[in-house]
Amino acid sequence: MNMMSEAAVEKALDQKMNDVSYKMVGKDVSVYYGEKRALFDVNLNVRENTVTALIGPSGCGKSTFLRCLNRMNDTIESCRVTGRITLDADDIYDPSIDVVELRARVGMVFQKPNPFPKSIYENIAYGPRIHGLARNKADMDQIVEASLQRAGLWNEAKDRLQESGTGLSGGQQQRLCIARAIAVSPEVILMDEPCSALDPIATAKVEELIHELRSNYTIVIVTHSMQQAARVSQRTAMFHLGQLVEENDTDKMFTNPDDQRTQDYIMGRFG
Amino acid sequence: MLLLTTAVIAILGYLAGTRRALALSGGRSSNMHSRPGYYGSFVAVWAGLPALLVLAIWLIVSPAVINNVVRNDFPADALAESAATQSLNFGMIEGIARGLNALSAEETAQAERNPDELRALMGSRGVAIAGEPQPYMVKAAVDLNRLRALNGWATAFIVTLIALIGGFVSYRMIKPRFRARNRVEHVILGSLIVASSIAILTTVGIVASMLTEATQFFHAVPAWEFFFGTVWDPRFAAAGSGGSEGQFGLIPLLLGTLYIGFVAMLFAVPVGLFSAIYMAEYASPRLRAIVKPLLEVLAGIPTIVYGFFALTTVGPFLRDISAQIAGLTTGNYTSFIQAQSVLTAGFVMGIMLIPYVSSLSDDIITAVPRAMRDGSLGLGATRSETVKRVILPAALPGIVGAILMTASRAIGETMIVVLAAGVAARMQLNPFEPMTTVTVKIVNQLTGDLEFTSPQTLVAFALGITLFAITLCLNIYALYIVRKYREQYE
DSSP secondary structure letters along A137-164: HHHHHHHHHHHHHHTT-HHHHGGGTTSB
| Predicted pLDDT of residue B486 | 63
Confidence of residue B484 (pLDDT cuts 50, 70, 90): confident
Which positions in chain B touch A114 (Cβ < 8 Å)? 369, 371-372, 374-375
| Predicted pLDDT of residue A52 | 94
Domain end: B114, B145, B178, which one?
Answer: B178
Q: Which of B91-105, B134-148, B199-213 has the highest mean pLDDT?
A: B199-213
Contact status of B289 with chain A (Cβ, < 8 Å) = no
Residue of A nearest to B281 (CA): A75
Query: Of A159-163, B89-93, B367-371, B439-443, which range is least confident?
Result: B89-93
Q: What is the mean pLDDT of residues A27-53?
A: 90
Work out the angle at residue A227's Cα, subtended by the Cα atoms of residues A224 and A228, and round it to the nearest 5 degrees: 65
Based on the domain organization, do B272 and B368 belong to the same domain?
yes
Q: Residue A114 and residue B488: Cβ atoms within 8 Å?
A: no
Establish if B193 belongs to a structural domain: no
Q: Which residue has the higher pLDDT, B468 or B243?
A: B468
Closest listed residue to residue B400, CA positions, set B411, B408, B390: B408
| Predicted pLDDT of residue B334 | 76
Establish if B225 belongs to a structural domain: no
User: Residue A122 and residue B254: Cα distance in Å, rounded?
Assistant: 43
Establish if B195 belongs to a structural domain: no
Cα dihedral value B40, B45, B51, B56, nearest 10 = 150
Confidence of residue B202 (pLDDT cuts 50, 70, 90): very high
**Residues B420-429: tens digit of each pLDDT:** 887 777 777 7
Q: What is the 3-state secondary structure (H, E, C) of B306-370?
A: HHHHHHHHHHHHHHHHHHHHHHHHHCCCCCCCCCCCHHHHHHHHHHHHHHHHHHHHHHHHHHCCH
Establish if B206 belongs to a structural domain: no
Percent over 90 (pLDDT), chain A: 32
> What share of residues in chain A are helix, strand, coil (percent, to 5)?
45, 25, 30
Residue B115 pLDDT greater than 70, yes or no: no
Q: Which residue has the higher pLDDT, B285 or A126?
A: A126
**Residues B128-162: tens digit of each pLDDT:** 666 666 777 777 887 888 888 888 888 888 888 98
Contact status of B284 with chain A (Cβ, < 8 Å) = yes
CB B309 within 8 A of CB B419: no
Establish if B207 belongs to a structural domain: no
Residue B284 pLDDT greater than 50, yes or no: yes
Residue A247 pLDDT greater than 50, yes or no: yes
| Predicted pLDDT of residue B70 | 80
Q: How far is CA B469 from CA B101, B202, B443, B444, B466, in A?
A: 50, 16, 18, 21, 5
Confidence of residue A1 (pLDDT cuts 50, 70, 90): very low
Confidence of residue A199 (pLDDT cuts 50, 70, 90): confident
Considering the four listed CATH numbers 3.40.190.10, 3.40.710.10, 3.40.50.300, 1.10.1040.20, the one that applies to the domain covering A21-266 is 3.40.50.300
Element (H, E) at B210: helix B180-220
Q: What is the mean pLDDT of residues A209-237?
A: 90
Domain end: B116, B145, B178, which one?
Answer: B178
Residue B456 pLDDT greater than 60, yes or no: yes
Contact status of B487 with chain A (Cβ, < 8 Å) = no
Q: Which residue has the higher pLDDT, B245 or B191?
A: B191
**Residues A131-153: tens digit of each pLDDT:** 888 888 999 999 999 999 888 88
Based on the domain organization, do B425 and B296 belong to the same domain?
yes
Based on the domain organization, do B174 and B268 belong to the same domain?
no
Establish if B342 belongs to a structural domain: yes
Contact status of B373 with chain A (Cβ, < 8 Å) = yes
Distance from CA of B294 to the nearest CA of A (A): 22
Establish if B40 belongs to a structural domain: yes
Distance from CA of A181 to the nearest CA of B (A): 6
| Predicted pLDDT of residue B221 | 80
Q: Residue A108 and residue B371: Cβ atoms within 8 Å?
A: no
Which of A75, A112, A127 has its CB closest to that of B379?
A127
**Which residues are CB-neighbours of A217 under 8 A, at least 6 positions away?**
A49, A182, A186, A187, A188, A189
Residue of B nearest to A185 (CA): B379
Strand-strand pairing, B247-248 and B232-233: antiparallel
Q: How far is CA B26 from CA B30, B31, B176, in A?
A: 10, 8, 10
Closest listed residue to residue B439, CA positions, set B306, B318, B260: B260
Q: Residue A130 and residue B385: Cβ atoms within 8 Å?
A: yes
Domain count, chain B: 2
Beta-carbon count within 10 A of A113 CB:
25
Based on the domain organization, do B118 and B238 belong to the same domain?
no
Based on the domain organization, do B96 and B167 belong to the same domain?
yes
Q: Alpha-carbon torsion B380, B392, B360, B192, what sign?
A: negative
| Average pLDDT score, chain B | 82
Q: What is the mean pLDDT of residues A82-93?
A: 89
Q: What is the mean pLDDT of residues A7-21?
A: 60
On whether the pTM is more than 0.80, the answer is no
Q: Report B:319-348 residues touching A (Cβ under 8 A).
A: none
Based on the domain organization, do B416 and B338 belong to the same domain?
yes
Which of A103, A104, A116 has its CB closest to that of B372?
A116
Percent over 70 (pLDDT), chain B: 90
Q: Residue A127 and residue B372: Cβ atoms within 8 Å?
A: no
Mutate which of A114, A192, A220 to disrupt the B interface (most B C-beta within 10 Å)?
A114
Based on the domain organization, do B171 and B238 belong to the same domain?
no
| Predicted pLDDT of residue B194 | 92
- The domain locations on chain A are 21-266
| Average pLDDT score, chain A | 86
Confidence of residue B189 (pLDDT cuts 50, 70, 90): very high
Could you tell me the residue range of the domain that residue B382 belongs to? 232-487
Q: What is the mean pLDDT of residues B41-62?
A: 88
Percent over 90 (pLDDT), chain B: 8
* Side chain identity, residue B18: T
